[in-house]
Structure 1
Amino acid sequence: MNLEAEVCIVGAGPGGALLGYLLAKSGVSTIVLERHKGIDKEFRGEHLNKEGESLLKKYGLYEKVEKAGLLLMDRVEYCDRGHVIKSIFPSDGEEHVGIHVPQRNLLSVLMKESQAYENYRLMMGTKVTGLILDENGRVSGVHAHDGTKEITIKSSVVVGADGRFSTVRKLAELPYETIRHGYDLLWAKIPSPPGWEPTIKNALVGGRQLALFTQAGGWIQIGWNIEEDSYPHLKKQSFAPFIEKAIEAFPEIEEALLEHIQSWDDFILLKVHSCHCPAWVKDGLAIMGDAAHTMSPTGAFGINCALADASVLSEVIIEALHFHDVSESQLRKFENKRRADIEKLQRQQLEKEAAFRDHFEVFAMAH
């Protein structure tokens, strides 16, 4: 199968999906490829901050996502053995301290809105296998397959929005430097107890962060920091003491924990790292979101950064197509506008992780 489009986006996560919508809405012929067959990927960043919220409102999408389902967080709490020792409430004039948006709800809105345009095409279950280069060595499309047939897509611009293990980044031979954070993360999900309020709760367990993120639909997502690369060793130990520590930290979820988290297999491991890419663009190609600057889970910046990338990159691509200039120098306008903000946030993540204990020190000294 041979196809053509002005822009081919690889990856239909929040950043890639928003970029596809913005380009299609602007009249740019756009093909979006997603290797998964569905949009129900578990345990992804799903919390919007003010930046993410304002972008959805800017493009008239927030109310549609709100209708699909989201949840405003009332406060952030720091707890010690079931007692709240510190609370953070919304600033004056703010309604919340963050918004949980199930990824399915966000993506379904972005894809539905995009498919209203005839110049937009979404291809699920389609994996990129190679880049097409023209006679001058510029990227001019991709090779892909959907499991049954080979697909060739010619395009003026290829965008890698395909996440922290980006295939496009690898195929384009764009180097990256891994930033270690000293921890990995265990994720799990349990039903929220009756009367549970929309909060983000944090505890210090064994010197590491244990967090509860309230989710829309009556769920709590558990995020437990463990020492980097320690999971194989942990899995050889008894599970009981591990879960007992969680119950001691948050006794209010004891029943749900005992019912739904009964072995190591009930957790999903996330290997935590961030990354720095010296370059995000080449002639005819750009990478964005986690492909360009993987974020750690701290502060839930990842999804918001990807949405902001999409907003800036859409304008840069539209200008590039208008002037028939998709060179590296033209596409670098995207990188130049976003890099400083991204690197600042990555520094903030490291600082927040190093300072997490500080939230509990005053309480510990008093007791």
Structure 2
Amino acid sequence: MKTLSTQVCIIGAGPSGLLLGQLLHNAGIETIILERSSLDHVLSRVRAGVLEQGTVRLLEEAGAGARMHAEGLPHDGFAISCETDIHRIDLTQLTGGKNVMVYGQTEVTRDLVDHRSQTGGITMYEAADVEPQEFDTAGPYVTCKIAGESVRIDCRFIAGCDGFHGASRRSVPETAIATFEKVYPFGWLGILADVPPVSHELIYASHSRGFALCSMRSNTRSRYYIQCNSDDHIEAWSDEQFWTELRRRLPPETAEAMITGPSFEKSIAPLRSFVAEPMRFGSLFLVGDAAHIVPPTGAKGLNLAASDVHYLFEGLRSHFLDSDTTLLDAYSERALSRVWKAVRFSWWMTTMLHRFPNQAPFDAKMTETELAYTLDSEAMRTALAENYVGLPY
């Protein structure tokens, strides 16, 4: 067996693993990143693209923000439509100047991959059978297979950035971890198409036929979603059927202005809320989707992973550079405090904007009234805006 050593072994080369790795590398802390998929597969994954200011700041700190600022789209607001009416949420006005950045997660990943390569960071792709070992002792390590060869990586800490289905959380004894989950009775059918966005800002649509979202990746590439049944299949939805249904859920003027075209990516995403706690087990730390999942309604998935990275990086930097464990010991508590607030916000937006199957008439009226009150009240719009742009770290 080949043996390597590093200070922090990071499992997962998605945005959270790469961001943590780059921040640590910049601070002079040794890292090795292990990724079970190929680089091509990692760069082909299509995910969300609304970045909070905190995420933007971390990418800048990592040295990977130049292309984001050159090609990303700063958004000062978004719209919520209700049947035929449309209402703008002015993020900048309601939050004292804050906004969000629309920039695809695939592009974030590519920028971090390129910067890690340029700065000499070590990432091992197609690492099979990755398993964290002995993380409840003073001598943790990670085992895996690289090109068929067994490899052991000795380290001081392990960061599990390997997603909901990864090995990190799975390696924790069931008696040591508590999980909380809500599965929503619908999904999002989404498409990507090389057509101009119907609006220069996102539109969240609440309609009697179901929720819809008009988003974008650039000024020439659009990302659209419609609420669908949880048991729907992609094969049952042609592009023509999708565009027809999307138009039905938008105000008439918006529907008429929409430019359609062939999709080049189509998928159905189930919606769930999930939290595992604590997020630290000895020398193993869970980060991002390994510890929590939120519905995409509030655009919090990638941003929550970034805030986890912030807290863990602060703790690791303080440990290695200042011999102070205070922030590292507080990682789980600090991260979970922000996680649960984002879970609440995503749950709130999801329940307020979607139509639930077999919903009781009273519950339907409460949902309708909640949205009406939110749009009519400056205090509620302010709360919506401050959560959307991201709560402070």
TM range (shorter): 0.7 to 0.9
C-alpha spacing 1:252/1:281, structure 2 compared with 1 (3 Å): same
Contact 1:89 1:97 in 2 (8 A): no
Partner residue, 1:213: 215
Q: Does 1:48 align with 2:51?
A: yes
Deviation digits for residues 152-206 of structure 1 (CA, Å, limit 9, x no counterpart): 211111111111222211023364332223332212111223x854210122344
Q: Give the RMSD, CA atoms, in angstroms.
A: 3.2
Render the CA deviation track for 1:129-170: whole Å, top value 9, x for unaligned.
322227x75661211224533322111111111112222110
Quick one: which amino acid aligns to residue 80 of structure 2? Y
TM-score (normalised: structure 2)? 0.77
140-149 or 244-253, which deviates more: 244-253
- Give the equivalent residue in structure 2 for 1:298: 297
C-alpha distance in 1 between matches for 2:138 and 2:78: 48
Paired position in structure 2 for 1:125: 126
Alpha-carbon shift at residue 276 of structure 1 (Å): 1.6
Q: Distance in 2 between matches of 1:15 and 1:129?
A: 17
Judge conservation of contact 1:21–1:114 (CA < 8 Å) in 2. Answer: yes
| Cα pair distance change 1:6/1:231, threshold 3 Å | same
- Per-residue deviation at 1:278? 2.2
Match of residue 72, structure 2, among 70, 73, 84: 70
**Residue 251 (structure 1) aligns with:** 255
1:114 shift after superposition: 3.2
Match of 2:112 among 110, 118, 133: 110
CA distance in 2, matches of 1:29, 1:64: 26
The CA distance in 2 between the partners of 1:111 and 1:79, in whole Å, is: 38
**8 Å contact 2:35–2:125 — kept in the other structure?**
yes
User: Using a 3 Å threshold, how does the CA distance of structure 1 residues 99 and 325 change in structure 2: closer, same or farther?
Assistant: closer
Give the aligned partner of residue 20 of structure 1. 21
Count residues with an aligned counterpart: 348
Alignment match, 1:160: 160
Give the alignment partner of residue 202 of structure 2, picking from 195, 200, 203: 200
Q: Secondary structure at the match of 1:277?
A: strand
2:349 is matched with 352
SS at match of 2:212: strand
CA 1:210–1:96 in structure 2 vs 1: closer, same or farther (change >3 Å)? farther
What's 2:232 paired with?
Answer: 231
Q: Residue 7 of structure 1 aligns with which residue?
A: 8
Q: 1:280–1:335: 8 Å Cα contact kept in structure 2?
A: yes
Query: Which residue is equivalent to 1:272?
Result: 271
Q: Deviations over 1:249-300 (max 9, x none)?
A: 35346652xx425xxx963121221212122111211111111122221211
SS in structure 2 opposite 1:183?
strand
- The change in CA–CA distance for 1:43 and 1:108 in structure 2 (over 3 A counts) is closer
Provide the residue aligned with 1:365 in structure 2.
none
User: Separation in 2 of the partners of 1:30 and 1:244?
Assistant: 49
What fraction of aligned residue pairs are identical, expressed as a percent?
A: 19
Which whole-Å CA distance do the structure 1 matches of 2:166 and 2:158 have between them?
Answer: 13
Give the Cα separation in 2 of the matches to 1:251 and 1:152. 56
Q: Residue in 2 aligned with 1:150? A: 150
- Residue in structure 2 matched with residue 284 of structure 1 by the alignment: 283
**Residue in structure 2 matched with residue 85 of structure 1 by the alignment:** 86
Q: Partners of 2:317 and 2:190 in 1: how far apart? A: 39
1:74-118 per-residue CA deviation (whole Å, 9 max, x = no partner) reads 53123467x652112342387774211122332233233334545
Q: C-alpha offsets along residues 9-34 of structure 1, whole Å, 9 cap, x if unaligned?
A: 01122211111011111111100112
* Structure-1 separation of matches of 2:237 and 2:74: 38
User: Where does residue 319 of structure 1 map in the other structure?
Assistant: 318
Q: Secondary structure at the match of 1:43?
A: coil
Structure 1, unaligned runs of 5 or more: 363-367
Are residues 138 and 280 of structure 1, via their aligned partners in 2, closer, same or farther at CA, if it must alter by over 3 Å?
farther
8 Å CA contact retained: 1:76, 1:97: no
Residues 198 and 215 of structure 1 are in contact (CA less than 8 Å); yes or no, is this contact kept in structure 2?
no
DSSP-derived class of the 1:208 partner = coil
